[in-house]
Amino acid sequence: MARAKTVIGVQASILRWARETANLSIGDVAKRLKKPEAVIEAWEAGEKSPTYPQLERLAYDLYKRPLALFFLPAPPDEPRAQTEFRSLPTDDLLSLDRDTIFLIRRARAFRFALEELYAKHSPVERPIWKEIVLSEASPLESQAQAIRSSLGVSLEEQRDWPSPDHALKEWRRAIEARGVFVFKHAFKQRDISGFCLVDDEFPLIMVNNSTTKTRQIFSLLHELAHVLFHRSGISVFDDIRIESLPAQDRAIEKFCNAIAAEILVPLQDFRVATARWAPQAASDEQYEELAKRYHVSRAVILRRFLDEGRVTRQFYRRKAEEWDSQRSQSAGEGGNYYATQGAYLSETFVREVFSRYAKRLLSRDEAAELIGVAPKNLSKLEDQILKGAQAA
């Protein structure tokens, strides 16, 4: 059997760039391809080239890049996570899972699709980030109330929602109505709660669907706070990681957490609801009932008590760790591919795509490319989206 020929014209610098931007070492690539590390090193030094099947494996399976990219004269200008995000310590940004890197890249692709779909201008006449810009120097409670008012969600309406799942959908719709596009995905890196990409016209939030609905709600409001600070961010619920950030970045992360908590659990209402509480003596069931009042997690309620000085830090850490070990991760929508994709995609975005497709302003291939699905799956996804609209 003849040996496969090496590919002519592959740029060594792009092979190296593609590997590094996927957060893979030479050893990782060698192991996946079942090749000696010296082979990968020779490709990246320009001494040898991969065969076409090897290049396809690198492009599509390992680096998630189009094949044509490897023949460009130089790597494209693409921001690195450590320069785009400042909400995680540098070591954590450098060691992001490959899956997380790919989701950030996918989010950028959605943003480019939005620019194309809406001719580079937000479809919202007065977007929320142009009305509200957060400042650490201004009172937190009044800024949180301004956000709630801008979203058009009253506390009474929030408390009337029947479930965390319903609450998540309502917060998501309210935020999208003010011009911020919200996508979801099941992150393999479970400690990442979500991230946002700021933009003058199309800011975008991606929430980890592998976490509970109450955690997704808090993540959504935390990322919205990042958008209103005009700072892209990757978020985790980990005080230790936040404490290791530089002072200014640490202060902003804490402020975003505080804003999200104040929007979801307004302090004035919280004080009235817990006036007779002895939080360190309360049962888990009592915490659960109070959390249901706002459709948040018990941990958010506990944090409010900590911020108020009504529980000790030792008690907070012990209970938070106990509840974290009890918490079963949500399986997400799962099961039905089309239902899952419909839940993952921004509702505003996908409805606009299908509206233009129905009016023949987009071809099937164009609509599928914008959404990021195979053309053969477009009709079934459209049916699922329409079914969801009728059920809403």
pLDDT band of residue 165 (cuts 50, 70, 90) is very high
| Domain spans of the chain, in order of start | 12-75, 98-264, 337-391
What is the DSSP secondary-structure string of 289-338? Answer: HHHHHHT--HHHHHHHHHHTTSS-HHHHHHHHHHHHHHPPPP--S-SSHH
Determine the average pLDDT of the residues in 148-152. 97
For the chain, give the mean pLDDT: 88
Q: What is the pLDDT of residue 280?
A: 95
Angstrom CA distances, 189 to 234, 300, 342, stand at: 12, 22, 22
Nearest-angstrom CA–CA distance, 83 and 67: 26
Task: Write the pLDDT tens digit of every residue in 367-380.
Answer: 988 888 888 888 88
Q: Which of 10-14, 169-173, 177-181 has the lowest mean pLDDT?
A: 10-14
Q: Which residues neighbour 181 within 8 Å (Cβ) at sequence distance 6 or greater?
A: 110, 114, 202, 203, 204, 205, 346, 348, 349
CB contact at 8 A, 314 and 191: no
Task: Write the pLDDT tens digit of every residue in 89-137.
Answer: 676 776 788 888 889 988 988 999 999 999 999 999 999 999 999 999 9
Q: Please, is 133 exposed, middle or buried when counting C-beta atoms within 10 Å of its C-beta (0-12, 13-18, 19+)? A: exposed
Determine the average pLDDT of the residues in 362-391. 79
Residue tagged 């992360």 (tokens)? 253
Helix (H, G, I), strand (E, B) or coil at 190: coil
Q: What is the pLDDT of residue 2?
A: 52
Which of the two residues, 381 and 347, has the higher pLDDT score?
347
* Assigned CATH class of 12-75: mainly alpha
pTM, full prediction = 0.84
Closest residue by Cα to residue 37 from 21, 48, 26, 24 = 26
Angstrom CA distances, 123 to 146, 176, 223, 289, stand at: 22, 10, 20, 40
What is the DSSP secondary-structure string of 333-359? Answer: S-SSHHHHHHHHS-HHHHHHHHHHHHT
pLDDT at residue 179 is higher than 90: yes
Residue tagged 């909400």 (tokens)? 87
Q: In what order do the strands lie in the sheet with 233-235?
A: 181-185, 204-208, 194-197, 233-235
